[in-house]
Structure 1
Amino acid sequence: MPIKKEPKPKRLIKSLFKWLFFIFLTLLLSLSVACYFFILELNKELPDIGQLEHVQYQTPLSIFSQDGLLIGEYGEKKRIPIAIDKVPQQQINAFLAAEDERFYTHPGVDYKGLLRAANQLLATGKKRQGGSTITMQVARNFLLSKEKTFLRKLKEILLSLQIEKRYNKEQILELYLNKIYMGQRAYGLAAAAQIYYGKNLDELKLHQQAMIAGLPKAPSIYNPIVNPERAVERRDYVLRRMLELNLIQPKAYEQAVNAQDDAATQPTKIQLNAPYVSEMARQELLAKYGEDAYTLGLKVYTTVPARLQIAADRAVQFALHEYDERHGYHGLPHKKFTKTSSLKSLKSLGDSRQAVVTALSTVGVETRLSNGSSVLIAWKNIPWKKSGFNETHSKDINSFYIKPNDIIWVRQLADQSWALTQLPVAEGALAAINPTNGAILAISGGFDFYRSRYNRAVQSKRQPGSGFKPFIYTAALEKGFTAASMINDAPIVIEDPSLENDWRPENYTRKFSGLTALRVALRKSINLVSVRLLQDVGIPSALETAMRFGFDREQLPATLSLALGSGYAPPLKMASAYAVFANGGFSVKPYLIQRIEDHSGAVLFQANPLSVCLDCKEGLKTVSNPAPRVISEPINFLMNSLLRDVVDLGTATLAKQSLGRSDLAGKTGTTNEQRDAWFNGFTSEIAVSAWLGFDNSHPLGKGETGGKAALPIWIEFMKTALEGVPEKALTPPEGIVQAYINPNDGLLLNENNNAGIWEYFTAETAPKTYSVPKQPEFEFDEEWFQEALF
């Protein structure tokens, strides 16, 4: 029977189908091979996931006081790295419900999620972030860029598969929770808890945990501070997913969704307000590490104890208010508080706060602060009352220059009462250092850092005035002068070709005392004695001596005006120079940073300053970096004796009266027209320089000398600095002798002569001859003459 052939069309279709199938298989195989080699090549371009084993989180620079209080934090990214075993399980559950419910079962890629994202793309034609697992987010955040391309997505998938093979789920989750951006500059879970709620992770409630878990999807949209309504919607979605996944019970769910969210901008966590100190440390770190200083998570411990820093700021503010109250109230006209004003808009600067006047009464001025609390300013605490004001008569009250709705400045006094005040126009500064090693103990650069960031304690170039005289006197003692050397306090004219007129220096009192001992001249700060002394010592010798105390040559003019402190120096430089007197004659360098630690606590830097070791010469101990001696022990003793005299009997007696101690030493300083007021003083434990003046060098006013304007800063600070510190007597070292002398010529007197005084000398300069008593002038006695004749 003949075989029936298929119709030709059918054979053609079959043949075509076979060829098409063959072509399809060939294309599929080619595509597979191409994909294989493409992925193979792509894998070569992928970053090494081994980087994840050595992750360096970008954490802020933190600066601390000597006693561990936070005084500053710098860096755009706020992050607090935390180990996964410190994260509450409920918080982890919230993130899994919100971001990746199959995290513990997928191999790094959730194919269902990817298909869902692909369907969305086909349906809408738009690329949207979706289908990303926590592992894929780790790959993207740590190893890839943020661009949204198919190539980057493919790399993300490949990296995720590699990550899952190399790291366990807990390691991946820890990386994610520490890296993810949470809005408000917060990176990572722990930082978000602090930024939004001011809490540690173990203190968060369920509704807060859900709120934070909802942030990574879109931090800008679901930010509870910026967009609370959308944020609550997202929070409730997270809670609903947790309920559906049996991660929470229905009762807990109901309580959480009904809870009112309390996310808010948190107050700064700064524990010690010391912005001048913090800024100094920041600049040092920036110079040392560059911009990396803000991201390496460095912890910087300064030499400044909180107790002394608080005292320094308080002392500067106290003295500025005292100066202001001596020169009148300049706060008029007052700004008005209107119906549209808010109490929250009231400002605070230094120790002063704005307040709104609510009423005036016979008791005082009633006010309201920014926090809504009421404060009474008693009439006795209003130092600028008009002349003749009678606080018992209402008609006088009604005519008073303070009215209801005025915005005034107030401050709280030591007795907790409140007083009317104003923002000082003058400025002040204080620098304190440890004289044994130069450690900075306090820096106050002005009334308030946020009014003026200019750090007058470190950056200013002010004339030290009479505060420079001790360095001239030191040079003189080294040249053989003594505390009893007599110098003529008389008018002097200095010819100077560089000046239009001759220079005629004057004493502050514009009086002259004739021959004056150096001890008395320094005690009274007599200018003309200092000028003549510099003439005798020689300017080159004086400059060389001053530079041994740490002054730079460019700070010092090579003219006789140097005797009156016509150079320039900031308070920190003056404190450092006076530290030489305080520590026995050694040069130390001020330093601020004691220790730097990295993010793990490893010490990167430990200060090793020049240190004074008075016991080392006796073999009792040693120091690794001994400070060099710059003046001899006998000369240092004599200068201490002279500078103690300034406090005991001279221009700074207020210090002894206020502090009741006998171991205080120092020197007041006042420049021409009272443009700068200084007091530089010390004990063996601390050297402190205080300054008060105007930034524009405007005169402070008649009588505003160093002893009146600046010394109160020093005294107020030292009340705290010397608390509990025992007095230390001044003991003459070897090479110092005492002699009973005639104070009028510096020569020896018999000890039975009541007109003499005891004075210290070096053994080489002690007087060897006795003073010849001045013969009384003959007085003509007319009555005797007549009797003698007759």
Structure 2
Amino acid sequence: MSEKQKGEEEFVPKVRSVRINETKPPKELPQKVESKKERDKGKSPISSKDKPVPRSKWKLFFTWKWLMLVLVSSLVLMIGMVATIILTGEYLPLERIDESGLIIYDKDQRRIIQLAKEQDPVERERTIYHEFISLEELKTKNKKLIDALIKMEDVRFYKHNGVDFYAMVRSAVSTLTGKREQGGSTITMQVARRVVLGTQERTISRKLKEMAAAWNLEKDKGKEKILEAYLNRIEYGNNIYGVQTAAQVYFGKDLTKDQLTPGEIAILVGLPQGTTTYNPYLGEDNRKRLKKRQLDVLYVMARNDDMPPLITKQEEEFWSKADLPIKDQSSLQVYKERISNLPYLTLIQEEINRKYPHFKGNKLFSSNLKIYTSLDRTIQQKVTEVLKNDRHFVDHQGNPVSAEKVDAGITVLNPKDGSIVAIGGGRQYRAGFQVRAIEKHQPGSTIKPLTVYAPAIETKGFQANSLVLDAPIEVQGKQIHNYEPKYYGMVTLEKMAKWSLNASTVRLLRDEIGLDTAFAYGKKLGLPLVEQDKNYSPLALGGLTEGVSSKDMAQAYAVFPNHGQYYEAHIIRELRVANPNGTEEIIPIQNPAHQVFHPETAWKMTQILKQVIEDPSGTGYQYARLADGREVAGKSGTTQNSEKSWFVGYTPDYVTSVVVFNQGVKKGEDPPLPLSGSGIPAKLFSLIMTEAHQGKPIHPFTQSSASKPEKSTPFGLQAIYEKGRVTLSWPAKGEQIRYTISRSTDGKNFVELAHDIRKTSYVDEVIPPTLWNQIVSYFWPKSITYYYKVTAIDPKSPMQPTSSVVKVSMLGNE
């Protein structure tokens, strides 16, 4: 056997023996080391048998056969990789990195939020919303964050095409030598793995797909888009996605306005590589690990390598010694509360799905839409505050009632065009919860002006003082009762609305309006009526089959301050879509108006509903009035058993619909809280509307120029004053006619003195003027002057003629 063969044969056992049994080199090894002179001569003073393995023996592995095998294997692997890249490129969902979310603007075209969404990695059916920030916005205030990311994670980012083979070899060598500073996975590969493929599994097939996706991302999307995707789509712990969201939670900073410190940059750059390991909210050990990670990043930021230093050594030292600038965990809860309390997002999605189906579903967040809404931030904030304040939800003893027992939904809109300015999702609303504002409930008496009173004015010519009999009535075998257990005889339309009477309303529907007409008007006003609702209880009392939402009722009531014109309620004013060439396409919103009632009908209905709030006997007088005293009209509603309650009201500027309801009451538990529309709903209405009108000029309801004139002609009225008695007389208008007498001290605001009078004369007892009155009247006659008028009422006719106004002075007749 040759010396070479013998040396090779003895080589393996000796190395293996040393690895297994020896803890340190044999003592005689130093004596067997060749001198430089002996190595030069190719001689050795010791035998080949005892000679230790020299380093040069490693070269024995690198034979031409071995090199050929490596070359062939590498060639086959490279061919396979290239084939994989080419074949899978067109099947990979590369478009996922284009999902920059949607940008939502308010009514003043100020950006509210740029919202993106991710799928929860654990609960796959759950969506996590987060904020998005463009790369251009980041460069404006925080370019150093971008540079630090590249310097730490992929210093050759601008030199490779997605897969950095040099970095992979360097990473392998660093791992073998224990000097692991930067991995072989590029930023592009991380985006490919986490965003495009959406997986963290460790398999050869996944790695090949990742490399294929990375190469195609570089080819199709470019470096800037890849960086933007990384900075927005990577998790930063605690289900926080994107640097904008992370900066707000951990530092309380908005990256579009605030600049990060080097210490904060180091944290954001380091966190994604260990979202659990470095999570600062999981205990002190985690905070220590995060601090060490921050030091590593600061060191690289200050180092001069393939990129110049981003900070000085002095800055590195300063921030290395500084405490972690992390806000406490309450910041996370506050942010999650804000990001999850966006009830208007549901309305936006629903409206887009219905009107623009090509953006439906996930496409909404991948179409880079700019959505200009009608939202008013101030009013929206007030609605949210009101719903979150438990002091507004109390029982009759003043004890708070939990949100699990009683909840509420609110809609505020602009009656001039039907645009929604605020929406109330509920007392405990979170993302994924039911939006209470669009949840359906029985409307109770709030339906009466829509399907009975306004149609009576529109089709039958009824006036505010038209009389209807309020007495026991039975329809289809059902006895109709008022809320109060009594009946009021002949009552005016105004009193029917003001006192929310049931019996007279059902009688008016049955005898004058008819079910078909009432049903048709309800449909015209957008109420979601079904065929089973064409009945007396649903159309007169609100016992609908499916119910209505607060949005439905606000939409319907808006016709009254808007002179009878109906607009479909909507929240989107304009859509803008980015084109590939950098321009924007504007998608106009079509929302035409429909004339449901004549302007005069709307005006008269408003005058009636004003009394619900302004008159001390009205159901809205106690709580629904506004703090600044401006004109407001509205209607309360309470369902059977008082389980649900409403208040819907309006000014010339806004309509607000509030529904408060019991929920989830089970047998054996406490009974439902008795609710009334004049209670909690009226209070919430007043709070919201008072805030909504802050800074707005006070102006009254206006009558449209298209209003039709009164059809009746005033008839003659005479009045004589004598010794404290004013005697009125007028010509008879017919056997069936009854009369109402009214008096005023200023000729404008009349107070009813008597009604249902059959005679054609009436005596008003007044206090005779004193000597002082006579002296004052000499200089100021109006101080003892009264005005009278008489209204003739025919129960069989909606037309109610009114007399001319007569002026009476206690010192003589005029």
TM-score for the superposition, normalised by structure 1 = 0.65
In the alignment, which of 325, 331, 337 is matched to residue 262 of structure 1? 325
2:382 aligns with 311
Task: Output one character per residue of 1:532-578: Cα deviation in whole Å (capped at 9) or x when no partner.
Answer: 21221222222223222222332863333232333332322222221
2:251 aligns with 197
The answer to whether residue 535 in structure 2 is matched with residue 565 in structure 1 is no
Of 680-689 and 268-277, more deviation after overlay is shown by: 268-277
1:532 aligns with 507
The answer to whether residue 604 in structure 2 is matched with residue 638 in structure 1 is yes
Deviation at residue 172 of structure 1 after TM alignment: 7.5
CA distance in 1, matches of 2:175, 2:96: 34
1:506–1:138 Cα change, 3 Å: closer
Instruction: Check conservation: 2:623, 2:679, Cα contact below 8 A.
Output: no
Of 455-464 and 153-162, more deviation after overlay is shown by: 153-162
Of 590-599 and 102-111, more deviation after overlay is shown by: 102-111
The answer to whether residue 471 in structure 2 is matched with residue 490 in structure 1 is yes
Of 457-466 and 751-760, more deviation after overlay is shown by: 751-760
The answer to whether residue 490 in structure 2 is matched with residue 515 in structure 1 is yes
CA distance in 1, matches of 2:633, 2:414: 15
Task: Output one character per residue of 1:75-130: Cα deviation in whole Å (capped at 9) or x when no partner.
Answer: 12755331485476654564455334566777887666444445578899xx9994
- Within 5 Å, give how 1:764-783 maps onto structure 2: 766=799
Q: Which amino acid aligns with 2:472?
A: P
1:447 aligns with 427
In the alignment, which of 76, 89, 105 is matched to residue 47 of structure 1? 89
1:645–1:607 Cα change, 3 Å: farther
1:43–1:450 Cα change, 3 Å: closer
Instruction: Check conservation: 1:465, 1:566, Cα contact below 8 A.
Output: no
Q: Which amino acid aligns with 1:544?
A: A
The answer to whether residue 563 in structure 2 is matched with residue 584 in structure 1 is yes
The answer to whether residue 298 in structure 2 is matched with residue 253 in structure 1 is no
Q: Which amino acid aligns with 1:580?
A: V
CA distance in 2, matches of 1:466, 1:164: 61
CA distance in 2, matches of 1:310, 1:221: 37
Q: Specify the SS of the correspondent of 1:516.
A: strand
1:231 aligns with 290
1:595–1:515 Cα change, 3 Å: same
- Within 5 Å, give how 1:170-181 maps onto structure 2: none
Deviation at residue 629 of structure 1 after TM alignment: 1.0
Structure 2 unmatched ranges of 5 or more: 1-62, 119-127, 666-670, 716-738, 741-754, 765-786, 805-814
Deviation at residue 206 of structure 1 after TM alignment: 2.5
Instruction: Check conservation: 2:450, 2:522, Cα contact below 8 A.
Output: no
Structure 1 unmatched ranges of 5 or more: 1-20, 332-421, 497-501, 611-624, 772-790
Instruction: Check conservation: 2:153, 2:183, Cα contact below 8 A.
Output: no
Q: Specify the SS of the correspondent of 2:460.
A: coil
Q: Specify the SS of the correspondent of 2:645.
A: strand
1:283–1:250 Cα change, 3 Å: same
1:427 aligns with 407
How large is the RMSD of aligned CA atoms in angstroms? 5.1
1:544 aligns with 520
- Within 5 Å, give how 1:67-106 maps onto structure 2: 67=108, 68=110, 70=112, 73=115, 75-76=117-118, 78=130, 79-83=132-136, 85-86=139-140, 90-91=144-145, 94-95=148-149, 97-101=151-155
Q: Which amino acid aligns with 1:686?
A: Y
Deviation at residue 437 of structure 1 after TM alignment: 1.5
Q: Which amino acid aligns with 1:518?
A: L
CA distance in 2, matches of 1:322, 1:179: 40
Q: Specify the SS of the correspondent of 1:290.
A: coil
Q: Specify the SS of the correspondent of 1:726.
A: coil
Deviation at residue 462 of structure 1 after TM alignment: 1.6
CA distance in 1, matches of 2:148, 2:404: 54
Task: Output one character per residue of 1:661-699: Cα deviation in whole Å (capped at 9) or x when no partner.
Answer: 574322232344434433322233222223334236866
CA distance in 1, matches of 2:762, 2:567: 42
CA distance in 1, matches of 2:552, 2:252: 41
CA distance in 1, matches of 2:223, 2:603: 71
- Within 5 Å, give how 1:711-722 maps onto structure 2: 711-722=682-693
Instruction: Check conservation: 1:224, 1:232, Cα contact below 8 A.
Output: no
CA distance in 2, matches of 1:290, 1:60: 12
1:376 aligns with none
2:710 aligns with 736
Instruction: Check conservation: 1:675, 1:700, Cα contact below 8 A.
Output: yes
Q: Which amino acid aligns with 1:66?
A: K
1:135–1:451 Cα change, 3 Å: closer
Task: Output one character per residue of 1:741-790: Cα deviation in whole Å (capped at 9) or x when no partner.
Answer: 832469998999976446999xx96457999xxxxxxxxxxxxxxxxxxx
Instruction: Check conservation: 1:70, 1:272, Cα contact below 8 A.
Output: no
Task: Output one character per residue of 1:201-237: Cα deviation in whole Å (capped at 9) or x when no partner.
Answer: 6722223333333345555444555533333323323
Q: Specify the SS of the correspondent of 1:511.
A: coil
CA distance in 1, matches of 2:379, 2:702: 25
Number of aligned residue pairs: 632
CA distance in 1, matches of 2:649, 2:466: 24
Deviation at residue 439 of structure 1 after TM alignment: 1.0
Q: Specify the SS of the correspondent of 1:482.
A: coil
CA distance in 2, matches of 1:27, 1:72: 54
Q: Specify the SS of the correspondent of 1:691.
A: strand
CA distance in 1, matches of 2:78, 2:532: 78
In the alignment, which of 652, 674, 692 is matched to residue 684 of structure 1? 652
- Within 5 Å, give how 1:237-636 maps onto structure 2: 237-245=296-304, 247=309, 248-264=311-327, 266-267=331-332, 268-269=334-335, 275-284=342-351, 288=357, 289-294=360-365, 296=367, 298-314=369-385, 321=391, 324=394, 326-329=396-399, 425-449=405-429, 453-465=433-445, 467-469=447-449, 471-483=451-463, 484-494=465-475, 496=476, 502-537=477-512, 538-554=514-530, 557-561=533-537, 562-567=539-544, 568-597=547-576, 608-610=589-591, 625=592, 627-636=593-602
Instruction: Check conservation: 1:748, 1:768, Cα contact below 8 A.
Output: no
Instruction: Check conservation: 1:108, 1:164, Cα contact below 8 A.
Output: yes
Instruction: Check conservation: 1:469, 1:563, Cα contact below 8 A.
Output: no
1:210 aligns with 266
Instruction: Check conservation: 1:694, 1:700, Cα contact below 8 A.
Output: yes
TM-score for the superposition, normalised by structure 2 = 0.64
Instruction: Check conservation: 1:555, 1:569, Cα contact below 8 A.
Output: no
Instruction: Check conservation: 1:434, 1:440, Cα contact below 8 A.
Output: yes
Larger RCO: 1 or 2 (CA < 8 Å, sep 6+): 1
1:534–1:273 Cα change, 3 Å: same
Instruction: Check conservation: 2:577, 2:584, Cα contact below 8 A.
Output: yes
Instruction: Check conservation: 1:317, 1:447, Cα contact below 8 A.
Output: yes
Deviation at residue 36 of structure 1 after TM alignment: 8.4
Q: Specify the SS of the correspondent of 1:594.
A: strand
2:27 aligns with none
Q: Which amino acid aligns with 2:633?
A: A
Deviation at residue 731 of structure 1 after TM alignment: 3.4
Q: Which amino acid aligns with 1:634?
A: E
Of 178-187 and 231-240, more deviation after overlay is shown by: 178-187
Q: Specify the SS of the correspondent of 2:551.
A: helix
CA distance in 2, matches of 1:316, 1:121: 57
CA distance in 1, matches of 2:563, 2:215: 70
